[in-house]
Structure 1
Amino acid sequence: MSYIRGYDPETLREKVDPRQCRERLDEIGEQRSLPALLERVWLLKVLGKPDDSLVLAEQAVRVARMAGTRKDLMRARILHASVQQVRGAFAAADQELTMCADEAEGQGWAGIAAFAYQHRGRVHYDSGNLDSARRDFKRALFLRQESGVPDDQLESTLMAIDAVDRRRAAASVAS
């Protein structure tokens, strides 16, 4: 079940129903499985609790490193980086996402690489580096198309590219 109801066209953040997310968080409770940890990290992040989310993200990376697959570890690291982004630690998020994107592409994991590029694009977007954001979103779009992902994932990437273009156009009009 997806808790995402869309994306804010200006911030590119997920739109969610907070009540539904809190209910799911209560359902999960203190489960320590990797999928439960990752879901709790994401739920706390979208509910505006980045500090709590970061603590769990670090735990999820450790659990994935000890007991998960390489793909599990990659997903945990990408989510950890997305929490860093929300907290404003753009350089750390960029570095982690760059390593993840490079490794995923090297392994031929197009879907995971696209996920890393999409998040790195958001880091660049938030930090005002619009050319890099657009480049990352375009790369994510290509990889997602190559992977045959559902239309909603393509739409979120297309919306991100459009947001970059709108912000660049507004900046050129202002100057």
Structure 2
Amino acid sequence: MPVSDIKGHDPETLREIIDPHECTERLAELGDQRSLPALLERVWLLKVLGKLEDALVISEQSVRVARMGGTRKDLLRARILHASVLQFRGAYAAAHQELTTCAEEADGQGWTALAAFALQHRGKVSYDAGDYADARADFKRALFLRQEAGAPEDQLESTLLAIEAAERRRASASVAS
């Protein structure tokens, strides 16, 4: 995804902080390109801009394109992104199931970075659903895998931020009950 468009992550929602104007401009530049990278970028841009119906349609198209002409890794990336659109739409169970399948497949293939990516997103699904213990467990596993894969500093930082947020929410939820 276009990491340069991410300005940071909100410490409470864990959502990407973006410049809507830049993302809208980039979306216009992409137009109706149908290459898999362009489709995936369009999905991400539509998702972060809150255009979830359009994001869902394009994410389903990207999964079909990856299935027909991409690699297995391409297909996993498309499915992870599709699941993140489901998450933003509140379909937590469907997103969680898809991300579990993706994480297991990536792990089984030894694709550490991709497994970490799937687990990070599955943690965000659990976080949004209010299951902070599961979110924290996924974030910690993602951190371990990202460290093992030599991930860039910004990925490690976003995962550490997510772990801290899940711990805060879990602690405040246990105090409230």
TM-score by length of 1: 0.99
Query: What pairs up with 1:24-173 in 2 under 5 angstroms?
Result: 24-173=26-175
Q: Which residue type is aligned with residue 133 of structure 1?
A: A
Shift of 1:174: 2.0
Structure 1 residue 164 displacement after superposition: 0.5
Distance 1:71 1:26 in 2: 27
Instruction: Give matches, 1:16-27, under 5 Å.
Output: 16-27=18-29
Measure how far apart 1:173 and its partner are. Answer: 2.4
Unaligned runs of 5+ in 1: none
- Looking at structure 1, the residues matched to 95 and 72 of structure 2 have their Cα atoms a distance apart, in angstroms, of 19
Shift of 1:170: 1.3
Once the two structures are TM-superposed, the CA of residue 88 in structure 1 deviates from its matched residue by 0.3
Q: Which residue of 2 aligns with 1:4?
A: 6
Q: Counterpart of 1:12 in 2: which secondary structure? A: coil
| Count of aligned pairs between the two proteins | 175
Any unmatched runs of 5+ in structure 2? none
How far has the Cα of 1:10 moved from its partner?
Answer: 0.6
- 3-state DSSP class of the match of 1:81? helix
Write the deviation string for residues 84-137 of structure 1: whole angstroms up to 9, x where unpaired.
Answer: 000000010001000000000000000000000000000000001111101100
The letter of the residue matching 1:120 is R
Q: Alpha-carbon deviations, 1:39-61, whole Å to 9, x = none?
A: 00000000011111000000000
Cα deviation, residue 31, structure 1: 0.2
Post-superposition offset of 1:169:
1.6
Rounded Cα–Cα distance in structure 2 between residues aligned with 1:51 and 1:143: 32
Once residues 119 and 51 of structure 1 are traced to their aligned partners in structure 2, the CA distance between those partners, rounded to angstroms, is: 20
CA RMSD between the two structures: 0.7
Q: Report percent identity of matched pairs.
A: 73
Cα deviations by residue, 1:144-166 (Å, 9 ceiling, x for unpaired): 00000111100000000000111
Q: TM-score, normalised by structure 2?
A: 0.97
SS in 1 for 2:159: helix
